[in-house]
Amino acid sequence: MDHPSSQTVISLYERHCVAFEKMRPANLLEKRWIDSFAQSVLPGGHILDMGCGNGTPVAQYLFALGFQVTGIDSSSSMIARCREKFPDNAWLVADMRELDLKRKFDGILAWDSFFHLARAGQRQMFDIFSAHASDGAALMFNAGPTDGEAIGEFKGEPLYHSSLAADEYRALMQQSGFRNIKHVVADPLCGGRTIWLAEKRD
């Protein structure tokens, strides 16, 4: 049974949107990985940013690289900030576990968002990733280093994270038409994140 905090992630970010924006580093510690992802996407292509937060710094950086970005987030307050800062782009309030945009993208990014889903939710995401990925599209997400749950803390409240085992992620990607390109566990140059970069092949 999942930890109770798995049910409160959305409401936590909604309540603390302003505090999160102030806390979120803008120096793009993850730049090396975002660059690897970007190099795997068709130049000028359209990226689906799943769990885009307030749009800074990741989506902002992708705009600077010349990509189109459609951002989705479950927090209406986060999406409101995106619309204020980047009014010419598409921002949608949506739960990634229920997403059905009926279109495909050249890249799919679920950065610092996918790992907030309970493990059953993570499993169902791979069909959703596949449904929104063009042939050759890049997929990048981060998870934990091993199968299990990790409960962090934000503004004095529990913040849920979970992960599947690496072999299960590989199997899910293969079943949904993705080929793993690169996987690093607890990258010390990226704040200890565990990252997966894959490519869709129909």
For each of the chain's 202 residues, which pLDDT tens digit applies?
899 999 999 999 999 999 998 888 778 999 999 999 999 999 999 999 999 999 999 999 999 999 999 999 999 999 999 999 999 999 999 999 999 999 999 999 999 999 999 999 999 999 999 999 999 999 999 999 999 999 999 999 999 999 999 999 999 999 999 999 999 999 999 999 999 999 999 7
Alpha-helical (H) ranges within the chain are 9-15, 17-23, 31-39, 58-64, 76-85, 119-131, 166-175
pLDDT at 1: 81
State the CATH number of the domain containing residue 83: 3.40.50.150
In whole angstroms, what is the distance from residue 24 CA to residue 51 CA?
A: 14
Please choose, from the candidates 184, 104, 99, the residue with its C-alpha nearest in 3D space to the C-alpha of residue 141: 184
pLDDT at 176: 98
Burial class (CB in 10 A: 0-12, 13-18, 19+), 200: buried
Q: How far apart are the first and last CA of the chain?
A: 35
Residues 169, 121: contact at Cβ < 8 Å? no
Structure tokens at 108: 């799919």
Count of the separate structural domains present in the chain = 1
Looking up tokens 């690496």 gives: 166
Residue 100: give the domain boundaries: 4-200
pLDDT at 27: 84
pLDDT at 184: 98
pTM, 2 dp: 0.96
